[in-house]
Amino acid sequence: MRAAPTILHLDMDAFYASAEQAAKPSLRGKPVVVGGLGPRGVVATASYEARRFGVHSAMPTAQARRLAPNAAYLVPRFMLYRTVSDQVMELLGRLSPLVEPLSLDEAFVDLEAGGTADDTASALAIGEQLREAIEAVTGLSGSVGLAGSKMLAKIASEEAKPNGILLIEPGTERDLLAPMPVRTLPGVGPATADHLRRAGMTTVNDLAEAGEAELVRLLGRAHGGSLHRMASGYDDRPVVAERDAKSVSVEDTFDTDLHDRVRVRSEVERLADRCVQRLRAAERSGRTVVLKVRRYDFSTLTRSETLRGPTDDPTVVREAAARLLESVDTTGGVRLLGVGVTGLADFTQEDLFAQAADERTAAQLAVAAEQGAGAGTDEGGPQDEEPEQESAEQLAARRWPAGHDVRHDTYGHGWVQGSGIGRVTVRFEEPESAPGRVRTFRVDDPDLQPADPLPLVRNPVDYSSWPASLPKSRSGPVSSGSESRP
């Protein structure tokens, strides 16, 4: 525990949904839900307008549609979210060398290590300045918590939501925590909370008064001891600078179970290509390929194969994933498929796998060319089995995901409102324009093409010299629980 509130926790407000509202003027102030839109889709984020209807993250999208039928339902645009996250993390990096990202929209910062704050007043000033900087650079809002420990800083940012700042003065932790539910503490999930409830403990104060020995008896030495210290307000976990990612992976949940083995393999190969794209975007390579298969009965199987060395060759990853699939029984149907690469490295080792794959592909093409020259369409060797075909609606939804960016040769930049019956409906507007007009096109209209997201702020304020140019505030102490909301 620190004597000054120099640990900062930032949590962007309804990040995905807020980014979509910032990008789409027609959705501002309206309920927006971001997530999977199929029958098995799950809500990733809901705007505050949608939350008023009871919609929340991890809820099945079908349930969300029943609660908020008039909300805008959008497929995530991770390219946009990562771009905005990079802008936010760059600002945090200017405050301290110790920044611990927890996700795209959440991070801890050690202000003391960065020399940007060493007391209550300077910490509060930096927190306010950070919120202003984030809004100026990204157009979005974030909530800030400040405290002498990571646990309390995170609690403070949660209490400050939305778009606020809350400082917890060191020395007041025990009184602040006492009435809070046990699930407020890190490491207390639904199962642990239920176990504690059966023992008569529902608040943090109950845990503190129960004593360490009783919590150890109930939960074990490590968990019980840690929980008692946190219930008493003690948390000495340090802010750890960003660690390298340990893996890169992609996965898809299908609207209906896949039964055709050829279709399953084609989906695995498609996922392998997407995984390699992410791998290359991160300028990494990996040596272990992992396949994940969730079957019709929700049983989940994983298989892995370790290569001779790290690679970012799509052919190598595709073939490894296909080999792994051969060892999995998909009888009965497949709900979800995933492909990942672990054992990441900063270099690519030229290996015989890639060379062999290239030679094999060349040989197959040569044989196919010979057969094509000497045989008619009704003759020759056995024909390849045709994969299970997607419906026109499924193909349209895959090409034109709701919420994603498009560009039309005549009407300019827009986003997909929906697609179906061979048509795609587009609203043409940009982040800084007025709400735009809606037009409908054929799904194969040659003038309409997918596009990259536009910046949320066309001319963001330059914070390249921040925070050195911003003086620390030394106006005196701020009382415990100091809070600022717009």
**Active site residues per annotation:** 106
DSSP-assigned letters across all residues of 85-125:
HHHHHHHHHHH-S-EEEEETTEEEEEHHHHTS--SHHHHHH
DSSP 185: S
What is the rounded distance in angstroms from the CA atom of residue 77 to the CA atom of residue 315? 26
Task: Name residue, tokens 């009704």.
Answer: 378
Closest alpha carbon to 339 in 251, 277, 254: 251
Q: Which amino acid is at 57?
A: S
Q: Judging by DSSP bridges, how do beta strands 106-110 and 285-295 pair with one another?
A: unpaired
Handedness of CA 153, 154, 160, 164 (dihedral sign): positive
Q: What is the CA radius of gyration of the chain?
A: 26
51, 55, 56, 62 alpha-carbon torsion, rounded to 10°:
-160
276, 278, 279, 282 alpha-carbon torsion, rounded to 10°:
160
- What lies within 8 Å, CB to CB, of 482 at 6+ separation is 120, 124, 166, 167, 169
Closest alpha carbon to 257 in 38, 36, 64: 38
SS in 3 state form for 409-455? Answer: CCCEEEEEEEEECCEEEEEECCCCCCCCEEEEEECCCCCEEECCCCC
The sheet with strand 72-74 has its strands ordered as 43-46, 32-35, 72-74
> Which whole-number Å values give the CA distances from 476 to 87, 123, 130, 274, in the listed order?
32, 12, 20, 54
- 208 three-class SS: helix
Closest alpha carbon to 154 in 312, 329, 5, 20: 5
